[in-house]
Amino acid sequence: MKFKETISFIQNQFNSKEFIPLHQPIFVGNEKKYLMETIDTNFVSSVGAFVDRFEEMMTLITKTKKSVAVVNGTSGIQVALRLVGVNKGDEVITQALTFVATVNAIAYNGASPIFLDVDMDTMGLSPKAVMEFLEVFGELREDGCYNKKTNKKISACLPMHTFGFPVHMDELKAICDVWNIPIVEDAAESLGSEYKNKPTGSIGELGVFSFNGNKIVTSGGGGAIVTNNVQLGLKGKYLTTTAKVPHANEFFHDELGYNFRMPNLNASLACAQLENLNSFLSNKRELALEYKSFFDASCIQFRTETPDTKANYWLMCVELENLKERDVFLAETNASHVMTRPIWQLMYRLPMYTHCQRDEQLNAQFLEERIVNIPSSVRR
């Protein structure tokens, strides 16, 4: 076996010869206590003290002014896009190297994605690619930026912080400001990551996090929208709670809202998990350092955070030399019960998105063939 040493290194790190998953949740804090409290008080559904507490914790952690608990990350992105003005028939700039939820959230608004390349170092949306695209296709009009090719409005830019590695936000923001395009951050994977000392998700108009079971902390299922724009935050709360006009006893809804509320039961789990976020972050950073020194001595490249950023090391990954090497690595590790997984297929390969406008995707295609996730769970 070619990767025997890597396999036994990972088995040693997790002190196990059994199946080692990519990422599993760990419950070592107040999870049971808060869940029982929720049941004992009968507030298990979409109103309750833990929903409020969760939203407060999220504003503190992300250093933002307003946070909205939602049922999952995907619906959070859907609503965040609507909040910045994405309408039916519009277009949204994003990356093709992402999880499908990023792009589905665009499509749920009746808008189409424009797929632009990622940077080689961050694996997230490339400011240079966005600039080059807009120089050719962008046209500034009174009400925003239009795509000269399709005559459609480009009403948002949706970068994704891949595996918790922050996108080059300053450069991206500078370009989007010139072209009057608001940024929504898909920060689903990057809770705890920082870009120049700012939490990811707090830099664009809005940011969205996921609390799905595979993320760094989980609420079973859930999401959060965060923003420094209080008006947008309040509008987000209202849209995700059926657009009900506040009133003591009357039901009046003045636009098409959603039931995207996070149940209190899930929020209680999220609160307990968030209390441990810092210890999870340092635990994962230790593992990343172990991996780094091991892989530095081999022919495999371990991916680390870029200068001026802090990654949460949610899912750690290596870069193999080529597709063939990658496939051998995947086969050997998984046969030894060490779970590894290739990065996503590029979104324009999916039947729903083949027709979408895109650039050359040289970096995305390079990474698609080489990046593999390796076990990254918090170790007890």
When the beta carbons of 145 and 343 are compared against ligand PLP, the nearer one is 343
Rounded to a whole number of angstroms, the minimum distance from the CB of residue 251 to ligand PLP is 28
Rounded to a whole number of angstroms, the minimum distance from the CB of residue 94 to ligand PLP is 10
Q: Which of 346, 225, 329, 372 is nearest to 5 (CA)?
A: 329
Rounded to a whole number of angstroms, the minimum distance from the CB of residue 80 to ligand PLP is 11
Query: What tokens does 158 get?
Result: 């949706």
Beta bridge partners of 318: 302, 372
When the beta carbons of 81 and 145 are compared against ligand PLP, the nearer one is 81
Rounded to a whole number of angstroms, the minimum distance from the CB of residue 338 to ligand PLP is 22
Exposed, middle or buried, 197 (CB in 10 Å: 0-12/13-18/19+)? Answer: exposed
Sign of the torsion angle spanned by Cα atoms 5, 9, 10, 16: positive
The binding site for ligand PLP (CB under 6 A) comprises 72-74, 98-99, 101-102, 160, 186, 188-189, 210, 212, 223
Q: State the residue number with the nearest CB to ligand PLP.
A: 73
Give the DSSP letter string of 351-364: GGGTTS-B---HHH
Rounded to a whole number of angstroms, the minimum distance from the CB of residue 72 to ligand PLP is 4
Rounded to a whole number of angstroms, the minimum distance from the CB of residue 176 to ligand PLP is 19
When the beta carbons of 167 and 378 are compared against ligand PLP, the nearer one is 167
Rounded to a whole number of angstroms, the minimum distance from the CB of residue 267 to ligand PLP is 14
Helix pair 73-83, 100-108: axis angle to 10 deg: 50
Which 3 state secondary structure label does DSSP give 140? strand
Give CA–CA dist 304/16, Å, rounded. Answer: 25
Query: What tokens does 341 get?
Result: 């997984």
When the beta carbons of 101 and 176 are compared against ligand PLP, the nearer one is 101
When the beta carbons of 69 and 300 are compared against ligand PLP, the nearer one is 69
Rounded to a whole number of angstroms, the minimum distance from the CB of residue 160 to ligand PLP is 5
Give CA–CA dist 222/233, Å, rounded. Answer: 17
Q: Is residue 347 within 8 Å of 100, Cβ to Cβ?
A: yes
Beta bridge partners of 198: 195
When the beta carbons of 44 and 100 are compared against ligand PLP, the nearer one is 100
Neighbours of 122 (CB within 10 A): 25
Query: What tokens does 266 get?
Result: 């899930």
Query: What tokens does 221 get?
Result: 């299922």
Give CA–CA dist 114/117, Å, rounded. Answer: 10
Rounded to a whole number of angstroms, the minimum distance from the CB of residue 360 to ligand PLP is 22
C-alpha distance from residue 206 to each of 196, 200, 213, 349 (Å): 18, 10, 23, 28
